[in-house]
């Protein structure tokens, strides 16, 4: 039987640690050795470097929340509104289809 104390806890790293690791990795060639020194996985270093390159200042906001610019927030809002409008449209299409089949008013039969 597996005991909860036997399970490995997921570690959390703060923004400063991740940025320090990225800076160290930029000056080192052997990232495997760096990962071993810091007791982290090598793939974390590669992922953190990639995130820092893509998101720049908004990388590593914490708790899985991305820091968005005003334009990105607006895009997210508009995509949600579009998705809601599409759902409403689909519901109305189904309702019209149901009602047109039941009373024959809206069909050519």
Alpha helices in the chain (DSSP H): 15-26, 31-38, 42-55, 70-103
Domain co-membership, 57 together with 75 = no
Reported as a single tens digit per residue, the pLDDT across 87-107 is 999 999 999 988 888 665 555
Angle in degrees, CA 62, 68, 72, rounded to 5? 150
Reported as a single tens digit per residue, the pLDDT across 32-56 is 998 999 899 999 889 888 888 877 6
User: Is 3 part of any domain?
Assistant: no
User: Is 1 part of any domain?
Assistant: no
- Among 23-27, 50-54, 80-84, 89-93, which stretch is predicted with the lowest mean pLDDT? 50-54
Give the domain extent around 102: 68-109
- The CA distance from 60 to 52, in Å, is 8
- Among 5-14, 78-87, 90-99, which stretch is predicted with the lowest mean pLDDT? 5-14
Domain co-membership, 75 together with 46 = no
Please determine, for residue 80, whether its predicted confidence score (pLDDT) is greater than 80.
yes
Domain co-membership, 63 together with 78 = no
Give the mean pLDDT of 2-31: 79
Q: Who wins on pLDDT, 96 or 14? A: 96
**What is the reported pLDDT for 3?**
59
Domain co-membership, 31 together with 57 = yes
Domain co-membership, 58 together with 78 = no
Given CA atoms 86, 92, 93, 95 in this order, what sign does their dihedral have? positive
Domain co-membership, 26 together with 52 = yes
- The CA distance from 25 to 49, in Å, is 8
**What is the reported pLDDT for 29?**
86
């Amino acid at each position: 039987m597996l005991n909860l104390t036997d399970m490995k806890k997921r570690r959390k790293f703060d923004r400063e640690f991740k940025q320090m690791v990225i800076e160290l990795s930029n000056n080192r060639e052997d990232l495997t050795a760096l990962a071993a020194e810091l007791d982290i996985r090598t793939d974390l270093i590669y992922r953190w470097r990639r995130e820092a390159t893509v998101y720049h200042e908004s990388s590593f906001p914490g708790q899985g929340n991305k820091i968005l610019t005003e334009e990105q927030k607006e895009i997210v809002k508009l995509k949600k509104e579009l998705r809601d409008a599409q759902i409403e449209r689909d519901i109305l299409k189904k309702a019209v289809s149901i009602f047109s089949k039941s009373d024959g008013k809206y069909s050519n039969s």
